[in-house]
Each structure stands twice: as C-alpha cells, then as structure tokens.
Amino acid sequence: MEKNQKVALITGCSSGIGRVSARFLAQKGYRIYALSRTPEKLSDIASENLHPIKVDITDTDSIDAALEKIEHIDILVNNAGYGLVSTVEDMNETQMLRQFDVNVFGVLRMCKAVIPKMRKQEAGVIINISSFLGKIGLPLLTFYNASKYAVEGITDSLRYELRDFNIRVHSIMPGFFDTDFARDNLVVNPQTFEKNSPYSKLVATLAPVIIDQINHGNDAIEVSKLILKIIEDENFDARQTAGDKAKKFIPMKKELSDEDFERRVREYYNLG
C-alpha cells in the first residue's frame, strides 16, 4: 500500500453500482476493499488496488472478521441492498424483517464497525447509497421505501453525531439505473403477482413500467463519479440526487404540497 493512499470500503460490490464504483475508484488510485457475499464475482476486476472480501452485512461476526486486518479506513460506502416488491397485505414476517436487516441494519452494522477507526483518526467519510424512494413513496415498494427513508434518517442523525470527530456523512439518492437490480436485486412476493390478487390491476399497471425504467435507466458510472466528488470535496452537500427520475421527482416533492405531489405521481404512473 502506497503512503497516503486513501482506503475505501464498499458493500454490495458483486454487481451494479457497487461493482462499477469499486472499479472506478480503484482506477483513480484508491485502495478498495470490495465487500460481497460472492467475492468470486469480482475476480475479473481484482487488482493491486481492488481487493474482494467475503462479507455478509447481516452477520456482525462476518463484518468484524473482514475488518480485523484493515487498520486504516478513510471511506465507507454503504451500497448493499435489494428491493422487496409486495403489498403490505401480502407480506410475511420473514420478508419484512429481511428487507430491513439488509437495507437498514446492514448500514448500521457497517457504521458501527468502521466509526471507531475513523474516530481515532479524527477523519472519515461515510456515504450511504439511498434512493429517491427514500423521499417519495410508490405502491408495491412500501418496504423498500420504508428502508430507504430509514437510511435517510440515519444519514441525518449521524451528521450531528460524528461532526465533532471530523467524520462527514452523506447520502446519494439514485433514481432508476441500468444495472442488474431489476433481475438480481428485486425480490417479488408471488402472492402479490397472482392473477386473482385484488391488486392485480395495480400490478399490471405499475410493475412493467418500473422494471422498464430500471432496465433503461442511467449509467451506474454517474453514481461512481458522484461518490468521488463527495470524497474529494469537504464542503459537499449533505445529500445529492443521481439520475433522471431522482432529479425530476425530488425537486417536485419540495415544491408541491403532499397532496399535489401525490396527484402528479399518480398521473405519471397512470394510477388513476
């Protein structure tokens, strides 16, 4: 490791934004520890600056074992997550708890593991990859929405909590991006998608549109470049949007009343 080389941990690196960002930052000279449950998927991009590590962010022992030999950590990017597609009526306890275990508690576990190192250094950057759906709701994505709202709350609170230790905390709120998310990171509740479901009209109207918007979304490199800007700019905003949908809906959310914004979203997605 080169002297003064910055060290970054990125979770959820097996695909999508995590994989692209790990490679991008490694190419920029950062020493990257790419965390994934399936690190073998990163063997093709492993390099002197990019080190895949097997980690399960739902397991504290797994996190501690992985971080034990990493003495210095400058940057943590909490990227790992997935989306549960289900109505509230159809969900089961296992699905609900799993969604929060990964998307929310995984973020908290990683922060808990990394903060002591950053605090002793009196420096650090934590970047939470949230979603524009952490500020607005959509049907069928209630649990994903709620988990990302929680990530936004974590970001807000940690900014106060860690300020005295010179640890910056930010969130990035991506819209829909052209990654493997729709194929690999959407978990569908079969009951919600049954033909005789009372929600069949809603599913038929919304689900194909959302999947199409994900599959034809922005390039993940946009988020990677934004991560780099946050790292290098000590005065960067607390949060930033990325992608067309986020840049469209988040400003609209701020400008309109809740009721007017809801009407706009219903019109946009033809929800009646």
Q: How confident is the model at residue 69 (pLDDT cuts 50, 70, 90)?
A: confident
Residues 15, 21, 36, 130: which is the catalytic one? 130
Q: One-letter amino acid identity for 242?
A: A
Is-contact 236 170, C-beta < 8 A?
A: yes
Residues 6, 21, 33, 148: which is the catalytic one? 148
Is-contact 227 127, C-beta < 8 A?
A: yes
Q: What distance in Å separates the CA atoms of residue 222 and residue 174, rounded to the nearest whole number?
A: 9
- Tens digits of per-residue pLDDT, 2-47? 668 999 999 999 999 999 999 999 999 999 999 999 999 999 999 9
163, 166, 171, 177 alpha-carbon torsion, rounded to 10°: 180
Q: CA geometry: angle at 134 spanning 130 and 137, to 5°?
A: 145
C-alpha 256, offset from chain centre: 26
pTM to 2 decimal places: 0.95
- 148 catalytic? Reply is yes
Residues 6, 14, 135, 171: which is the catalytic one? 14
Domains in the chain, CATH or no CATH each: 7-268 (3.40.50.720)
Q: What is the DSSP letter of 146?
A: H
- 130 catalytic? Reply is yes
C-alpha 148, offset from chain centre: 8
Assign residue 246 a region: left if phi > 0, alpha if psi is -120 to 50, beta otherwise?
alpha
Is-contact 182 138, C-beta < 8 A?
A: no
Q: One-letter amino acid identity for 47?
A: S
| pLDDT the model gives residue 265 | 94
According to DSSP, the residues that pair with 8 across neighbouring strands are 32, 75
| pLDDT the model gives residue 2 | 67
Helices 221-232 and 16-27, packing angle to 10 deg? 50
Percent of the chain with pLDDT over 70: 96
Structure tokens, 156: 């807000």
Q: What is the chain's alpha carbon radius of gyration, rounded to the nearest angstrom?
A: 19
- 248 catalytic? Reply is no
Mean pLDDT of 202-226: 90
Residues 6, 33, 135, 144: which is the catalytic one? 144
- 14 catalytic? Reply is yes
